[in-house]
Amino acid sequence: MRLLISGAGGLLGRALVKIATEQGHSFSALDRANFVMSLSNYDAIDACFHGIDHFIHAAANTDVESCEENPAACYRDNLLLTDLLAAGAQRCGVPMTFISSTGVYGNHQTTPWAEYDDAHPTTHHHRSKLLGEEKVMATNISNLVVRTGWLFGGEPQATKNFVAKRILEAYTSESGFMKSNDQQRGCPTFVNDLAVRIFDLIAQRASGVFNVVNSGSASRFQYVQEIITQIGLAIEVRPVMAGDFNRLAPVSNNEVALNWRADSFGMTPMRSWEEALADYLTTFDMKALIR
């Protein structure tokens, strides 16, 4: 299969490239610099899809705080660009997978989110992703939307590497303790596991919305505590309220999701996030980071 992948240099994008290569797929990275965002720029956009069997749109403006400060840029990156690319893929007969977020569900229930639950996003970032989903599915009902969140993996120096950042925070703590949010809950998800499931869904020609997260859930506090425990570091992790971090974006405290559709179709259950985390911490780069 010949793939076109946007965001190939990001946390998930690198995992998609890795798994695609391991599975024998070929790929091209979509570089936005190849075309100007214009309603009449059909030729440059369509040229990206020539010879492509499937398009995975993993690129996004994921800075939730920045999206609150500059919503126009957020909707340009996550909605307008998605709209143009989905239309181009449709014109060229190329099915696509759009990477979205479990954060789109919002904050109106405390139980885990299944795909049949209504989405009421609470931030510009998550609203832009939901609107992007709607464009993708309106363009082609055979397209696939993957909602995920709390991603970990990749190289330690990656900007979005939550696990590596917490380890470095622990090593450099002068107080002997760390603080972490005990209110917000989600499903930590290993990008390699996510990439494998995405290719499984594509191979089965799945369409519509699928949650894809590792099994189980945790608060941010429990997540950080597990990271510190697994590397055997003697530092205290203290639970604090969400308000201690003075976030601009009103992010939902509940981002826990169930892989309800995949489970209903009899797909192999995703492994626990704790097991996936242990696997990730034994990779060469992470072993080099851990003292």
Of 206, 207, 214, nearest to 190 by C-alpha is 214
Q: What is the mean pLDDT of residues 221-244?
A: 90
Could you tell me if 43 and 90 lie in one domain? yes
Contact 235, 291 (CB under 8 A): no
- State the Cα–Cα distance between residues 1 and 290, nearest whole angstrom: 37
pLDDT tens digits, one per residue of 124-145: 999 999 999 999 999 999 999 9
Q: What is the mean pLDDT of residues 69-84?
A: 96
Of 162, 146, 174, 184, nearest to 16 by C-alpha is 146
Could you tell me if 147 and 157 lie in one domain? no
Could you tell me if 112 and 203 lie in one domain? yes
Could you tell me if 38 and 165 lie in one domain? no
CATH of the domain at 52: 3.40.50.720
> What DSSP designation does 272 have?
B
CATH of the domain at 226: 3.90.25.10
pLDDT tens digits, one per residue of 9-68: 999 999 999 999 999 999 999 987 776 666 667 888 999 999 999 999 999 999 999 999
At 169, is the secondary structure helix, strand, or coil? helix
Q: What is the mean pLDDT of residues 239-255?
A: 84
Could you tell me if 18 and 105 lie in one domain? yes
The tally of domains found in the chain comes to 2
Looking at the domain assignment, is residue 265 inside a domain? no
Could you tell me if 156 and 235 lie in one domain? yes
Could you tell me if 109 and 132 lie in one domain? yes
Could you tell me if 61 and 102 lie in one domain? yes
pLDDT tens digits, one per residue of 156-175: 999 889 999 999 999 998 88
Determine the pLDDT at residue 38. Answer: 67
Range of the domain at 136: 2-151+189-216
